[in-house]
Amino acid sequence: MRPFLHYRTTRRTLISILTLLPALSSPLLTVPVLAQTTSQNPLPSWNDGAAKQAILDFVRVTTDTASPNHVPAEDRIAVFDQDGSLWVEHPMYTQVVYCLERVPAVVEKKPELKDVAPFKTVLSGDREAIARLSLRDLEEILAATATGMSVEEFNAEAKKWIGTARHPRWKRPYTELVYQPMLEVLRFLRDNGFKTFIVTGGGQDFVRVYAQQVYGIPPEQVVGTAGGTKYGYGKDGKPFLTKEPKLILNDDNAGKPEGIHLMIGRRPYAAFGNSTGDREMLERTGAGTGARLKMLVLHDDAAREYAYGPAQGLPDTKVGPFTPALYDEAKKDGWTVISMKNDWKRVFPFEH
């Protein structure tokens, strides 16, 4: 029996398991520190070029009251994909790693799962076998590790994990692997009256745990894949919400503009992404009148981060693919492609 198969997940959340599970260490949630910025140099981690200039020009024309492209303060909405756009998504989405690492705790509470697939496979530590898990298997793991508990319990577990888990390549907390240039964009937009939102295919509750500390984005400005909750009362009579294996919003592909309409209620003037899952969000943003900023991060820097596409002849990937078709659409419709290699002076806050 597979009791959680009706909980449908997204491509960006669950595709395959390709990496060693990171070790747990420091108990503190690390908060990135922005580089010193000034009004004369609001984007110090960007090289001069078309991408940087597009951001500067957009903010200038949308905030100048004399400009025909001026945007009223209440309409200044900017949306950002998270995985691969604001922080590292390779070799695997952070939330997938979290779900896998939660399996032992789930089995401890439910010993009957110990010898049942796919939990038995994860407990074996056999990376090749884990990589062969089907989408249904991964859905079952997600449902078992992210539902059936109170909202408060989930938040506490996720916060504890994100504060201790480390990336297998850099041996640093995932919260340090945010892109310094994008932190500067977030700050620059907010300094100019824009409200910044995360619009992610990842779990909404998961991202809300750390969005304020890491990005300066409050939880109510995170739109993500959302599951249902059920209201109830504890033995002490106090009310609580239980997370249920029921999908409310699949916030990926066409689900992103749908989620923006549902949760924000305004069409964005700026949208940032990095993969095919962000296409519809940028299309919807660009279909509005006036000045619109549409940007895609191209991961073409294997030395400082990762290189993958398969656009521009880069290696193919199942995690955050940037296809030739998406690249062609970007060029055709005037979207700006950000080259990580050429447009960013540095990638992470800890670089000097």
Query: What is the identity of the amino acid at 112?
Result: E
Examine the pLDDT at 287 and tell me if it is beyond 70.
yes
> 3-state class of 87 per DSSP?
strand
The pLDDT value recorded for residue 19 is 36
The pLDDT value recorded for residue 11 is 42
Task: Name the maximum alpha-carbon separation found in the chain.
Answer: 68
Spatial distance between the Cα atoms of 193 and 77, rounded to a whole number of angstroms: 9
Identify the CA nearest to 12 among candidates 325, 322, 332.
322
Spatial distance between the Cα atoms of 299 and 322, rounded to a whole number of angstroms: 9
The pLDDT value recorded for residue 86 is 98
Spatial distance between the Cα atoms of 293 and 166, rounded to a whole number of angstroms: 33
Pairing outcome for strands 270-273 and 77-80: parallel
For residues 29-38, average pLDDT = 56
The pLDDT value recorded for residue 143 is 86
**Of 1-5, 85-89, 109-113, 142-146, where does mean pLDDT reach its minimum?**
1-5
- Both tokens assigned to 227: 């599951």
Spatial distance between the Cα atoms of 67 and 317, rounded to a whole number of angstroms: 42
pTM for this structure?
Answer: 0.89
What confidence category does residue 40 fall into, taking pLDDT thresholds of 50, 70 and 90? confident
For residues 96-101, average pLDDT = 92
> 3-state class of 73 per DSSP?
helix
Q: Please give the residue that has the higher pLDDT: either 278 or 129.
A: 278
Examine the pLDDT at 234 and tell me if it is beyond 80.
yes
Query: What is the identity of the amino acid at 269?
Result: Y
Bond from prior residue into 118 cis (ω within 30 degrees of 0): yes
The predicted-structure confidence for 162-174, as pLDDT tens digits, reads as follows: 999 999 999 999 9
The pLDDT value recorded for residue 128 is 86
CB 318 within 8 A of CB 310: no
Examine the pLDDT at 26 and tell me if it is beyond 60.
no
Pairing outcome for strands 239-249 and 222-233: antiparallel
Examine the pLDDT at 21 and tell me if it is beyond 50.
no
Distances, alpha carbon 130 to alpha carbons 70, 94, 109, 141, 170, in Å: 52, 16, 22, 12, 23
Examine the pLDDT at 257 and tell me if it is beyond 70.
yes
The predicted-structure confidence for 147-157, as pLDDT tens digits, reads as follows: 999 999 999 99
- Name the strand (E) or helix (H) holding 336: strand 336-339
CB 266 within 8 A of CB 75: yes
